[in-house]
Structure 1
Amino acid sequence: MPGKKITDHQVNKYKQHRNTLSQVAAAAKSAISERSARRIDQSDTLPSQQPARGWRTRQDPLALAWEAEIVPLLRTDVQLNAVTLLEELQRRHPGEYDRGVLRTLQRRMRQWRAVHGAERDIYFAQEHPPGRLALSDFTVCDALGVQIDGVPFAHRLYQFALAHSGWRHAVVVVGGESFIALSTGLQAALWALGGVPEEHRTDSLSAAFNNLAEEQELTRRYADLCRHYAMRASRCNPGQSHENGSIESRNDSLKTALDQALRLRGSRSFEHHAAYDAFVATIVQRLNARVTKRLAVERVMLRPLPARRTSEYEERPARVSKYAVFTVKGVQYSAPSQLIGHRVMVRLYAQHIECWFGGQCVHSRPRAAPAPGERHARDIDYRHLVAALKRKPGAFARAVLRDAVFPRAVYRQTWERLAARVPERDACRTMVGLLALAADGHEAQLANELEQLIEIDQLPDLLALTGLLAPPKGQVPEVVVMLPALAGYDTLIEGVL
């Protein structure tokens, strides 16, 4: 084979076969050519004993420039690549070096760096004893193309994994990295595992804070969390993802498993968030089935769990304005009108919020996150506003929160068609009536009826839809029961006796 030198072992094997076989057969068994076999028969030395070749089969295209120009540049900066150096040679010597020299230059530079280049990082394989180390990390999963109710679902996954056995636990995270998401996912994993490892490692968590004050607060709260579970907290150095390699590789394997399962499922759309959560949990359970034996060994070495979990929420005070909305962490939420003017304590969980007033939970909503391209998120429940709109339907047309009130896209489309075809006063009355009908428990059914009306290009008739979905209750006839006199029972009894 061209470029592959014959070894001493091949020569010795050839000579052994040559004692009993022909030259052609012995060469074939030794994986050499007939021409090489003839040369071996004429020589008494092994290839390793022959002097080094001092001649070239063709002229060196870099003979003049290599030592004089290229090597000094490489010694100045070893990160220079072959394309840059070739272009520099072409500028210095026009017409002397064409693109055909590039491959030769790349090979020559690779050989030079192997001998004279800078020292490179050495990676040390680690042995992880059972029960010692657990790792966790966030990974962006937008590339999976998951949709919730037909809308692209931008999300992350928080993943916890044991370094020894490879057991893992994953939680879907809506929004960015935060301490609440870390705390919720970590505690869910520990209680699902049934024990606590000796050490817990994360990355630098730089995405979880925006300034120095937030960094100090997160560091303190994270230290308190690890202290509650008697775990030693550690972090890898910023920008050194290989130090957290045990979880980084599992992020890739988890997303690959999810992608394959979605392809096998035939659809990437889910009806609601809980369905996707269950799907992720199923895939993680299948991955954990592969490490059952190793987990059994490691579970014995884990430390016991504390008596209870620590808090998984962050508290923020908020005041419900006269518009029946309150703002917490830049997100607007609606509230029941009874809370207008009151200050509530908002508990921010990873997936939902709770409003507490007077020692009791008075309101709960899924936690909202900004949509792609949206700076501030809004979560407005039309049920909180529909009673007031029924008293003032004309306010709907130019309400600031109007576009956030529609529960589904078909309601928005219906309003646009009403506003374009009928007077504003009538459009507002009809739309508010439709929202009131939806608030009475007919949201999904009404949405189907509105879609059919849009298909046939008709405007909704509020009275007809009300009669169809919420017909008036019929009057119950008044029934008068006449009770007989008790003396009549005595007569019946005497007749029987």
Structure 2
Amino acid sequence: MIHGGESFVALSEGLQNALAACGGVTRELRTDRLSAASRNRDGSYALDITPRYQALCAHYGLTPSRNNRGVAHENGIVEAPHGHVKRRLEQKLLLRGSCDFDEPAEYGELLAEVFSALNAPRQRRYEQELEHLMGLPAFRFADYELLTARVRSTSTIEVRQVIYSVPPTLIGRQVTVRLHHDRLIVYLGSDWVCQLPRAYGTGSHGPRAWCIDLEHLIDGLRAKPRALLHCRYQRHLFPDQHWWNFWQRLLASGDRDAAARLMVEALYVAVRVASFALVLAFLQQAQQRQTLTLSHLQQRFRVPPRRTALPDPVIPQHLLASYDHLLPGAPLSSCGSGAAAAAQTAQAGAVPQPLAAARSAG
């Protein structure tokens, strides 16, 4: 299952998964003229192959080959079964009654069922081929791209014109991103930080898509709830259409600032305290009864109000005369002595520190 086209990353991961499933490596790897493997220029194929694809084949001891330009039927033994797979998959989707899936893994299970039925008659020939496979290398080839990104003040990074949210502890730091065809893995130095689903979009100007995890942003948003009104990715902060519709009704009620404070607190409760379904049911019922307030929400879920800023500490200023005894040759009496000096120090709030003792000779 490929996300975002036939990239080299997708080719590398799919090929290595297939070889691992077979438990061995063939001696030749036959492809069409896909751009992830070759530049498709006239001339020698050895010079036309991309360096990354050449390194992948060398890692597994594969001899790469491809069909000639404009002679697609040379790969007919592959293209014909591929057509059968697409027709069987289409029939499965018709019997299912829908092409919509909640999770990619659910679609992957359907594909595995189709391939299993298609490969069943070929099991004997497959077992015969296993005897001639070469052994797998000890390690997989890299099936990702390495990128670096700077975390913005909004706790987001931009990768291939897509905005992703990351934990706020990374703000201002440079992170390393392993870009797979279906996910991103973020590292700070050599430490794993988080894994994000990869998003794709269409658009030539500005970000193509957004991938926002509310858990990354909710604490900062709670500190400044009015930011919800002007957030560029406002729509992506809400878990589903029901929450978005409720937010639109709140905005239409009049006070936008109060609506923002209430909605941000509700999202905070849903992320940190209860579930999204439970909080939304409470909001809808309270709105129907006309009892929906910020304090009512906090009391219902026992959420303490947002902490206010701590008062500035009061630090008493000491007297500058207390530094006089540090000057070479200055008499100790310059800053006072006895009870008067102690009273002066106590009044200034300074704590006298002992001087380092001189190193003894010998």
Q: Which TM bucket (shorter chain)? A: 0.7 to 0.9
Deviation at 1:271, TM superposition (A): 2.4
Q: Which of 153, 178, 197 is matched with 2:26 structurally?
A: 197
Q: Which of 231, 240, 251 is matched with 2:82 structurally?
A: 251
Counterpart check, 1:233 vs 2:77: no
Counterpart check, 1:319 vs 2:177: no
Report the counterpart of residue 231 of structure 2 in structure 1: 399
Give secondary structure in 1 for the equivalent of 2:116.
Answer: helix
Report the counterpart of residue 425 of structure 1 in structure 2: 257
Report the counterpart of residue 361 of structure 1 in structure 2: 192
Report the counterpart of residue 7 of structure 2 in structure 1: 178
List per-residue Cα deviations over 1:299-333 (Å, max 9, x = no partner): 11222211221111110010001111111122111
Consecutive unaligned residues of structure 2, counting only runs of 5 or more, are 42-46, 305-362
Deviation at 1:352, TM superposition (A): 0.9
List per-residue Cα deviations over 1:111-166 (Å, max 9, x = no partner): xxxxxxxxxxxxxxxxxxxxxxxxxxxxxxxxxxxxxxxxxxxxxxxxxxxxxxxx
Give secondary structure in 1 for the equivalent of 2:231.
Answer: coil
Report the counterpart of residue 439 of structure 1 in structure 2: 271
Deviation at 1:436, TM superposition (A): 0.6
Structure 1 residues 202 and 208: CA distance shift in structure 2, 3 A: closer
Structure 1 residues 408 and 211: CA distance shift in structure 2, 3 A: farther
2:146–2:178 Cα contact (<8 Å) kept: yes
Give secondary structure in 1 for the equivalent of 2:230.
Answer: coil
Counterpart check, 1:389 vs 2:221: yes
Deviation at 1:269, TM superposition (A): 2.9
State the Cα RMSD in Å: 3.2
Counterparts of 1:274 and 1:326, CA distance in 2 = 26
Give secondary structure in 2 for the equivalent of 1:347.
Answer: strand
Identity across matched positions, percent: 38
Structure 1 residues 211 and 429: CA distance shift in structure 2, 3 A: farther
Q: Which letter maps to 2:260?
A: C
Structure 1 residues 279 and 426: CA distance shift in structure 2, 3 A: same
Deviation at 1:270, TM superposition (A): 2.4
Q: Which of 113, 117, 135 is matched with 1:304 structurally?
A: 135
Q: Which of 257, 261, 267 is matched with 2:92 structurally?
A: 261
Report the counterpart of residue 291 of structure 1 in structure 2: 122
Structure 1 residues 416 and 217: CA distance shift in structure 2, 3 A: farther
Give secondary structure in 2 for the equivalent of 1:316.
Answer: strand
Give secondary structure in 1 for the equivalent of 2:68.
Answer: coil
Mapping for residues 456-467 of structure 1, pairs under 5 Å: none
Q: Which letter maps to 1:383?
A: E
Counterparts of 1:457 and 1:263, CA distance in 2 = 45
1:316–1:347 Cα contact (<8 Å) kept: yes
Counterparts of 1:217 and 1:429, CA distance in 2 = 59
Structure 1 residues 464 and 176: CA distance shift in structure 2, 3 A: farther
1:236–1:243 Cα contact (<8 Å) kept: yes
List per-residue Cα deviations over 1:320-357 (Å, max 9, x = no partner): 01111111122111111110010001001122111111
Give secondary structure in 1 for the equivalent of 2:226.
Answer: helix
**Count of equivalent residues:** 298
1:414–1:450 Cα contact (<8 Å) kept: no
Give secondary structure in 2 for the equivalent of 1:197.
Answer: coil
Mapping for residues 2-151 of structure 1, pairs under 5 Å: none
Structure 1 residues 218 and 456: CA distance shift in structure 2, 3 A: farther
Q: Which letter maps to 1:439?
A: V
List per-residue Cα deviations over 1:15-42 (Å, max 9, x = no partner): xxxxxxxxxxxxxxxxxxxxxxxxxxxx
1:196–1:305 Cα contact (<8 Å) kept: yes
Moved more, 372-381 or 239-248: 372-381
Moved more, 414-423 or 363-372: 363-372
Deviation at 1:224, TM superposition (A): 0.5
Report the counterpart of residue 80 of structure 1 in structure 2: none
Counterpart check, 1:220 vs 2:51: yes
Give secondary structure in 2 for the equivalent of 1:270.
Answer: coil
Counterparts of 2:236 and 2:171, CA distance in 1 = 19
List per-residue Cα deviations over 1:214-237 (Å, max 9, x = no partner): xx9981000110111111111223
Name which one, 1 or 2, has greater alpha-carbon Rg. Answer: 1
Give secondary structure in 2 for the equivalent of 1:322.
Answer: coil
Structure 1 residues 453 and 232: CA distance shift in structure 2, 3 A: farther
Counterparts of 2:191 and 2:12, CA distance in 1 = 24
Counterparts of 2:171 and 2:38, CA distance in 1 = 32
2:226–2:261 Cα contact (<8 Å) kept: yes
Structure 1 residues 198 and 460: CA distance shift in structure 2, 3 A: farther
1:236–1:244 Cα contact (<8 Å) kept: yes
Structure 1 residues 423 and 472: CA distance shift in structure 2, 3 A: closer
Give secondary structure in 2 for the equivalent of 1:295.
Answer: helix
Report the counterpart of residue 332 of structure 1 in structure 2: 163
Report the counterpart of residue 280 of structure 1 in structure 2: 111
Counterparts of 2:175 and 2:190, CA distance in 1 = 10
Q: Which has the higher contact order (CA 8 A, sep 6+)?
A: 2
Tell me the TM-score normalised to structure 2 length.
0.73
Give secondary structure in 2 for the equivalent of 1:369.
Answer: coil
